[in-house]
Structure 1
Amino acid sequence: MGTKQIVRFCLALTISAAMLLEITAPHMAMADAAQRAKSTLLNDKSEPTKIISTQVKNTPTLKLDSHVASMTKKRTIKARFKLPKGTDIKKISWTYGGKPLSEWKSYKNRGYNGAPFITVTQVKAEHAEVTASINFGLTYGTENLAEPSLQRPLYASLMGTYELAAVVNGKTVAQAPIKLVPYDSFRTYDELKPEIDAITAQAAQKNDRYIKTLSIGKSVEGRDIYMTVVAKDQATIDKYQNVTHPAMLNDPAKLENDIQSGAFGDYQVPIWINNIHPNEAPGFDAIINYFKTMALDKNVTYKTTLSNGKSSTVTLNMDDALEHVFFLFLYTENPDGRVHTERYNAEYFDLNRDNSYQTQPETRSITEQIAKWSPISFLDLHGFDKNFLIEPTTPPHDPNIEYDLLMDNMVEQAKAMGEAGIANTKYDYYHIPYEEHRKTVENPKYVSKGTSSGWDDASPAYTAVFAMHHGAMGHTLETPESNEESTKALYYSVAAATDFVMQKKEKLFLNQLKVYERGINNIDDRSVDRYLVNAKNQVIGRPRHGNENFFLSITFCRSIKVFKKIRWKPIG
Structure 2
Amino acid sequence: MYYSEKQKGIKKSIISLAIIFMMLVSMAVVPVEAAVVPAIDFKNVTGEGKDAISLSDKRNFEAVLVTDGSISPDEVVWAMVRKAGAQDEKIFPHKYLGGKLEDWKVWNTQKPYFTNVATEKYSVDGKDALKLSFSTEYFLDVNRVDSPRGNRNVILDHTGDFTLTCSDLSGKILGQATVKVNPYDDYRTHKELEEELLDAKAKADTINGLYIDVLSVGKSTQGYDMPYAVISDSKASVENYHKQNKLAQEDPDAFIKKINSGADYKIPVLYSNIHADENPGVDAPINFIWDIVNSFENGGKITYNILTGFTPEGEKQLKLEMEQQGIHWSELIKDHVTGLGFIKAGNKTSGPVDLEKYYTVESYTLDVNELLDNIIFIVVPSENADGRTNNVRQNGNGFDLNRDNMFQTQIETQNMTKLIAEWNPTTMIELHGFVSGYQVEPCSPPHEPNFEYDLFAENGIKSGEAFGIGAIANNSDFNSYVMALRDYLVSDEKGNPYWQEPWDDMSTNYTPQYSMLHGTVAFTIEVPAANQEATKSLEHGLIHHGAYVMENKDAFYKNQLTGWARGIKNIDEPAIRDWYVDVNDNIGAEAEIFRPKYDGNNNFFPECYIIPLDGKNQSNIEAAYAMQKFLLDNGVKVHSLNKDVTFGGTTYSKGSMVVSMYQAKRNVANGALYDGILITAWPDLYSEPITAFGEMRGFDYTAIDTKGLVKDNMLTEIKVPQTAKTCFTGETGGEVIIDNASVAAIAMVNKMLSDGIKVGFIAEGDYNGDFVVSYGNFMKYQDKFIVKATGVKSIAGAQTIKKPSIYIPGFAGDYSV
Question: Could you tell me how far apart the structure 2 residues matched to 1:197 and 1:292 are?
Answer: 11
What residue is the counterpart of 1:65 in the other structure?
A: 43
1:278 and 2:276 aligned: yes
Which residue pairs with 1:350 in the alignment? 400
The answer for the alignment partner of 1:294 in structure 2 is 292
> Aligned runs of 1:213-232 on 2, under 5 Å?
213-232=214-233
> In the alignment, what sits opposite 1:397?
447
- The amino acid across from 1:282 in the alignment is P
- Counterparts of residues 21-36 of structure 1 (less than 5 Å): none
Q: How far 1:195 sits from its partner (Å)?
A: 1.3
SS at 2:246's partner residue?
helix
Deviation at 1:58, TM superposition (A): 1.6
- Greater C-alpha radius of gyration: 2
Find the residue that maps to 1:495 and give its secondary structure. Answer: helix
Q: CA deviation at 1:236?
A: 1.0
Cα distance in 2 between the residues matched to 1:69 and 1:463: 34
Verify: 1:411 aligned to 2:461, yes or no: yes
Q: Contact between 2:113 and 2:138, CA under 8 Å: does it hold in 1?
A: no
Q: Paired residue for 2:516?
A: 468
Instruction: Go from structure 1 to structure 2 and tell me whether the alpha carbon gap of 1:166 and 1:199 turns closer, same or farther (over 3 Å shift).
Output: same
Q: How far does residue 295 in structure 1 lie from its aligned partner after superposition?
A: 2.2
Q: In the alignment, which residue of structure 2 is the partner of 1:155?
A: 155
The DSSP-based 3-state class of the residue aligned with 1:306 is strand
Q: Do residues 121 (structure 1) and 118 (structure 2) align?
A: yes
CA contact 1:433–1:453 (8 Å) conserved in 2 = no
Residues of 1 paired with 2:267 and 2:489: CA distance? 31
In 1, distance between residues paired with 2:187 and 2:112? 25
- Structure 1 counterpart SS, 2:525: strand
Secondary structure of 2:265's counterpart equals coil
2:776 is matched with none
Name the stretch that deviates more: 338-347 or 536-545. 536-545
How do 1:431-470 and structure 2 match up within 5 A?
A: 431-438=482-489, 440=491, 444=495, 453-470=501-518
Normalising by structure 1, report the TM-score: 0.84
Tell me which protein shows more helix as a share of its residues.
1
Alignment CA distance shift 1:485-1:304 (3 Å): same
Q: Structure 1's 220 and 327: CA in aligned 2 closer, same or farther, altered over 3 A?
A: same
- Is contact 1:285–1:487 with CA below 8 Å preserved after alignment? yes
In the TM superposition, residue 349 of structure 1 has moved relative to its aligned partner by 0.9
CA pair 57-494 structure 1, distance change in 2 beyond 3 A: farther
8 Å CA contact retained: 2:598, 2:605: no
> What is the alpha-carbon distance in structure 2 between the residues aligned to residue 386 and residue 555 of structure 1?
44
Listed as ranges, the matches of 1:258-277 within 5 Å are 258-262=258-262, 265-277=263-275
Tell me the residue number matched to 1:43.
none
User: Which amino acid in structure 1 is aligned with residue 485 of structure 2?
Assistant: Y
Alpha carbons of structure 1 residues 561 and 396: separation in structure 2 relative to 1, 3 Å: farther
Residue 545 of structure 1 deviates from its aligned partner by 4.7
The one-letter code sitting in structure 2 at the alignment partner of 1:340 is N
The residue identity in structure 2 corresponding to 1:152 is R
Pick the aligned partner of 2:549 from 480, 501, 526: 501
TM-score, normalised by the number of residues in structure 2: 0.60
Hey, what does 2:390 align to over in structure 1? 340
Match of 1:552 among 606, 609, 633: 606
Deviation digits for residues 224-280 of structure 1 (CA, Å, limit 9, x no counterpart): 0001000011121111101x1012211101111111123xx3111111000001100
Which position in structure 2 is the counterpart of 1:366? 416
- Listed one character per residue, the Cα deviations across residues 292-351 of structure 1 (whole Å, up to 9, x for unaligned) are 111231222121112555322211111110011110010100011011110000101111
Q: Distance in 1 between matches of 2:493 and 2:38?
A: 70
RMSD in angstroms over aligned alpha carbons?
2.4
Distance 2:254 2:493 in 1: 40
Gaps of 5+ in 2: 1-33, 45-50, 83-98, 311-358, 612-640, 646-651, 658-699, 701-726, 730-738, 740-766, 771-817
Question: 1:107-127 CA distances to partner (integer Å, 9 max, x unpaired)?
Answer: 2xxx24322335522522344
Could you tell me which residue of structure 2 aligns to residue 40 of structure 1? none
Report matched runs for 1:153-232 at 5 Å. 153-169=153-169, 170-232=171-233
Q: What aligned pairs does 1:522-561 form with structure 2 within 5 A after superposition?
A: 522-538=570-586, 539-541=589-591, 542-545=594-597, 547=599, 548-554=602-608
- How many angstroms does 1:536 deviate by? 4.9
Separation of aligned partners in 2, 1:162 and 1:465: 43
Which of 291, 300, 324 pairs up with 2:374? 324
Question: What whole-Å deviation, never above 9, does each CA across 1:399-448 have from its counterpart, x for those lacking one?
Answer: 0000000111101111111112111123221011011234658993689x
Question: Which residue of the partner structure matches residue 255 of structure 2?
Answer: 255
8 Å Cα contact 1:387/1:430 also seen in 2? yes
In 2, Cα distance between equivalents of 1:133 and 1:535: 59
Q: Which aligned pairs between 1:36-51 and structure 2 lie closer than 5 A?
A: none
Aligned to 1:4: none
| Paired position in structure 2 for 1:49 | none
Counterpart CA distance in 2 for 1:406 and 1:292 is 30
For the pair 1:380 / 2:430, whether they are aligned, the reply is: yes
Q: 1:555 to 1:133 in 2, by over 3 A?
A: closer
Percentage of matched positions with identical amino acids: 29
Provide closer, same or farther for how the CA distance between residues 307 and 553 of structure 1 changes in structure 2, counting only shifts above 3 A.
farther
Aligned mates of 1:381, 1:177 — CA distance in 2: 32
Aligned-partner Cα distance in 1 for 2:552–2:528: 29
CA contact (8 A) 1:434 1:452 kept: no
**RCO comparison, higher one (Cα < 8 Å, 6+):** 1
Q: CA separation in 1, counterparts of 2:492 and 2:471? A: 27
In 2, the alpha carbon distance for the partners of 1:128 and 1:374 equals 64
Alpha-carbon distance in 2 for matches of 1:351, 1:291: 24
Task: Report the more deviating stretch, 360-369 or 203-212.
Answer: 203-212
Unaligned runs of 5+ in 1: 1-55
Change (3 A) 1:508 1:116: closer
Distance in 2, Cα, partners of 1:316 & 1:322: 11
Is 1:427 matched with 2:478? yes
Three-state SS of the structure 2 residue aligned to 1:496 is: helix
Counterpart Cα distance in 2 of 1:370 and 1:57: 57
Letter in 1 for 2:78: W
- Paired residues of 1:384 and 1:480 also in contact (CA < 8 A): yes
Matches of 2:276 and 2:309, distance apart in 1: 34
Distance (whole Å) between structure 1 residues aligned to residue 603 and residue 492 of structure 2: 29
Moved more, 413-422 or 63-72: 63-72
CA contact (8 A) 1:163 1:176 kept: yes
Q: Aligned equivalents of 1:445 and 1:140: distance in 2? A: 43
Q: Which amino acid aligns with 1:266?
A: D
Deviation at 1:384, TM superposition (A): 0.4
Worse-superposed segment, 201-210 or 352-361:
201-210
CA distance in 1 between partners of 2:493 and 2:264 (Å): 43
**Match of 2:717?**
none
Where does residue 721 of structure 2 map in the other structure?
none
Displacement, 1:467? 1.0
Does structure 2 conserve the Cα–Cα contact (< 8 Å) formed by 1:153 and 1:279?
no
TM-superposed CA distance for 1:386, in Å, is 0.4
**1:80 equivalent in alignment to 2:64:** yes
Structure 2: how far apart are the matches of 1:399 and 1:57?
Answer: 73
